[in-house]
């Protein structure tokens, strides 16, 4: 398969939107990046359309076409009939004039090839006794069958697509000509490269519009009226059938659009429920006018259909019908390289995802897969990661956060901006004598705590940290920290119970006070004793002095 789609890794945000919209789940995730699985992709273009980051891009063919134009050979455009819906009010004459300004030799409508193809379908229905016939105009549907329903390849009409039939006709009429198909489809790029020598290059309407803008070419509003243009209905749902004669006895004619509807029908065919039926299948809702590369401003299927219907005629183009052998197209099975895992491998992954029993399998589709089992198979095949399961991640995150909340030694209380309790852990309940969490959840915090600090933090946005508070109602001392998270609009209160510390500090303070009192008492007593001793010593000294003086005087008298 041609590498028509590329991935801008820097743009991919691992949102899984592409896998949710991929009808065949041909996208794998590795390293938080989406990767397209080429041998499973059917090039429907859904991932390009839905990617919110423009991480999926269609490989631009403009430069390749510029090289063709410079080759010296005439280059003729096969213009898809859906152009009338993409370029409102602009007919084939105006498109031809504009494209010639870019250097193209001529422009024809792919609807000419559609007339050839529908005529061959009518021949097969008349002359060949086939049970079920599936149209082969849509390359994405062809790839769907080749890759995902290989047993049904025999039901595909082995006929060229209108693009191929028209380009082959152009080359037959004009020697040395190069052909370029322009349309709204991604898969046509692959079809052109796979079946070499028929279509030399493919441009999308987006690429053409960008080219016109770069060359400052303005399309003129004009509409021609060609009664021989019934095949212009081909890009609409049921458009192939609308151009065909449906007169084969016992045959049913059905038109289906959208890959999911086509897959459902293919499963019915595979199980033998459908017989004697001609089925027109289109991958896009609304068929080609709902193509992934139609101008984004033209996304109304009804409006696009009305544009086609008002432009299409009532008769067929006058064509020279080729021999059936010249319109033959071979379809080969495109094998998948990834084997199917065993049941034990699937169950092992389911258990890792927390899917122990059937009731655990929510099949919510958030990962992009239709069921948990389908996701588990993708994990086994290396296409998906266990972490893509949203309930698994949610449970894991909640379990982890609950473990932290339950085992932290601090009390935690979480409030919303209305100061209503959203969460309270066991430690906080113990501090505030709360019997059960349900008693306070959703209640105003004023029921259990003074809201002043929470109000101040909420209104100022400034946190309060390690504020010592006495909760008189609970006879507890706490160090409280209050933080406001503007992203989640929540207030988180952290309460560290310091009651024992405060009690111990009080005991130490009391002992210190008593020690000081005892010391003061001892010192005071000692001072009294010293003073008494000093007083006694003073009296004795005085008496001794008097006695000695008298003794001295009496000796002196002698």
Q: Please state, in angstroms and rounded to a whole number, the distance separating the CA atoms of residues 19 and 46.
A: 9
Is 267 strand, coil or helix?
helix
Write out pLDDT tens, residues 364-401.
777 778 888 888 888 888 888 777 777 666 666 656 56
CA-based nearest residue to 492, from 446, 445, 447: 445
Domain ranges of the chain: 60-327, 339-404, 408-497
Q: Is 415 exposed, middle or buried (0-12, 13-18, 19+ CB in 10 A)?
A: buried
Beta bridge partners of 279: 134, 254
Rounded to 5 degrees, what are φ and ψ at 121? -60, -45
How many angstroms from the chain centroid is the CA of residue 188?
26
What is the pTM assigned to this prediction? 0.73
CATH T-level topology, domain 60-327: Rossmann fold (3.40.50)
CA-based nearest residue to 76, from 182, 185, 233: 182
How many angstroms from the chain centroid is the CA of residue 405?
31
CATH architecture of 408-497: 2-Layer Sandwich (3.30)
Instruction: Please answer whether residues 209 and 22 qualify as being in contact, where contact means their C-beta atoms are separated by less than 8 angstroms.
Output: no
- Crossing angle (nearest 10°) for helices 62-69 and 205-214: 60
Q: Which residues of 506-530 are buried (b: 16+ CB within 10 A; e: fewer)?
A: eeeeeeeeeeeeeeeeeeeeeeeee
Q: And the tokens for 49?
A: 């359309």
Place of tokens 């017989």: 275
Which parts of the chain sit beneath pLDDT 70?
Answer: 1-2, 296-299, 391-402, 541-542, 544-545, 547-549, 551-554, 556-558
Return the HEC string of 11-50.
CCCCCCHHHHHCCCCCEEEECCEEEECCCCCCCCCHHHHH
Q: And the tokens for 172?
A: 């037959």
Supply the pLDDT for residue 352.
Answer: 85
How many other C-beta atoms lie within 10 A of the C-beta of residue 104? 20
Write out pLDDT tens, residues 35-60.
889 899 999 999 999 998 888 889 99
DSSP-assigned letters across all residues of 467-488: EEEEETTTTEEEEEEEEEETTT
Q: Please state, in angstroms and rounded to a whole number, the distance separating the CA atoms of residues 375 and 364.
A: 11
Q: And the tokens for 163?
A: 């693009």
Instruction: Please answer whether residues 462 and 423 qualify as being in contact, where contact means their C-beta atoms are separated by less than 8 angstroms.
Output: no
The contacts of residue 155 (CB under 8 Å, 6+ apart) are: 130, 131, 132, 133, 134, 145, 269
Instruction: Please answer whether residues 451 and 445 qualify as being in contact, where contact means their C-beta atoms are separated by less than 8 angstroms.
Output: yes
DSSP-assigned letters across all residues of 81-141: TTHHHHSTTB-HHHHHHHHHHTT-SEEEETHHHHHHHHHHHHHHHHHS--SEEE----HHH
User: Strand 106-109 and strand 75-79: pairing?
Assistant: parallel
User: Strand 411-416 and strand 421-424: pairing?
Assistant: antiparallel
> Which CATH number, 1.10.15, 1.10.3470, 1.10.10, 1.10.287, labels domain 339-404?
1.10.15
Place of tokens 């794998």: 28
Rounded to 5 degrees, what are φ and ψ at 551? -65, -40
Q: Which residues of 23-45 are buried (b: 16+ CB within 10 A; e: fewer)?
A: bbbbbbbeeeebebbbebbbbbb
User: Strand 106-109 and strand 33-36: pairing?
Assistant: unpaired
Beta bridge partners of 538: none
Is 202 strand, coil or helix?
strand
Instruction: Please answer whether residues 102 and 129 qualify as being in contact, where contact means their C-beta atoms are separated by less than 8 angstroms.
Output: no
CA-based nearest residue to 269, from 132, 153, 142, 150: 132
Q: Please state, in angstroms and rounded to a whole number, the distance separating the CA atoms of residues 293 and 182.
A: 11
Supply the pLDDT for residue 529.
Answer: 83
Q: Please state, in angstroms and rounded to a whole number, the distance separating the CA atoms of residues 398 and 424.
A: 15
């Amino acid at each position: 398969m041609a590498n028509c789609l590329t991935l801008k890794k820097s743009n991919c945000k691992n949102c899984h939107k592409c896998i949710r919209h991929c009808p065949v789940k041909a996208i794998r995730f590795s390293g938080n990046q989406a990767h397209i699985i080429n041998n499973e992709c059917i090039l429907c273009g859904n991932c390009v359309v839905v990617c919110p980051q423009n991480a999926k891009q269609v490989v631009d063919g403009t430069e390749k076409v510029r090289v063709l134009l410079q080759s010296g050979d005439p280059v003729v455009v096969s213009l898809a009939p859906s152009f009338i819906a993409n370029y409102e009010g602009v007919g084939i004459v105006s498109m031809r004039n504009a494209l010639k300004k870019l250097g193209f030799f001529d422009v024809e409508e792919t609807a000419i090839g559609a007339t050839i193809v529908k005529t061959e379908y009518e021949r097969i229905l008349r002359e060949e006794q086939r049970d079920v016939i599936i149209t082969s105009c849509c390359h994405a549907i062809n790839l769907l069958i080749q890759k995902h329903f290989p047993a049904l390849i025999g039901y595909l009409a082995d006929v060229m697509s209108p693009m191929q039939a028209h380009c082959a006709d152009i080359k037959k009429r004009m020697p040395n000509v190069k052909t370029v198909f322009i349309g709204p489809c991604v898969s046509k790029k692959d079809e052109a490269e796979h079946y070499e020598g028929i279509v030399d290059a493919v441009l999308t309407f987006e690429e053409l519009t960008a080219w016109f803008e770069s060359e400052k070419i303005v399309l003129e509003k004009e509409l021609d009226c060609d009664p021989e243009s019934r095949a212009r209905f081909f890009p609409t749902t049921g458009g192939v059938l609308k151009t065909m004669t449906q007169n084969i006895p016992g045959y049913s004619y059905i038109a289906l659009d959208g890959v999911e509807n086509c897959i459902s029908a293919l499963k019915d065919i595979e199980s033998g429920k459908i017989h004697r039926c001609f089925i027109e299948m289109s991958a896009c809702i609304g068929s080609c006018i709902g193509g992934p590369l139609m101008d984004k401003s033209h996304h109304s299927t009804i409006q696009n259909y009305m544009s086609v219907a008002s432009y299409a005629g009532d008769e067929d183009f006058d064509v020279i019908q080729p021999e059936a052998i010249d319109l033959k197209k071979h379809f080969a099975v495109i094998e998948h390289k990834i084997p199917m895992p065993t049941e034990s491998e699937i169950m092992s992954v389911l258990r890792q995802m927390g899917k122990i029993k059937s009731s655990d399998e929510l099949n919510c589709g958030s990962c992009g897969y239709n069921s948990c089992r389908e996701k588990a198979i993708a994990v086994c095949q290396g296409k998906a990661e266990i972490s893509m399961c949203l309930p698994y991640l949610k449970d894991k995150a909640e379990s982890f956060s609950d473990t932290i909340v339950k085992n932290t030694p601090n009390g935690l209380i979480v409030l919303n901006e209305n100061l209503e309790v959203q969460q309270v852990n066991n430690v906080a309940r113990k501090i505030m004598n709360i019997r059960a969490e349900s008693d306070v959840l959703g209640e105003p915090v004023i029921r259990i705590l003074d809201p002043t600090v929470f109000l101040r933090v909420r209104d100022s946005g400034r946190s309060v940290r390690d504020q010592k508070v006495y909760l008189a109602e609970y006879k507890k001392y706490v160090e409280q920290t209050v933080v406001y998270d503007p992203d989640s609009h929540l207030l988180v209160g952290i309460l560290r119970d310091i009651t024992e510390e405060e009690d111990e500090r009080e005991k130490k303070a009391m002992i210190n006070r008593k020690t000081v009192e005892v010391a003061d008492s001892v010192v005071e007593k000692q001072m009294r004793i010293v003073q008494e001793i000093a007083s006694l010593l003073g009296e004795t000294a005085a008496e001794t002095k008097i006695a000695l003086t008298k003794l001295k005087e009496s000796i002196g008298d002698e």
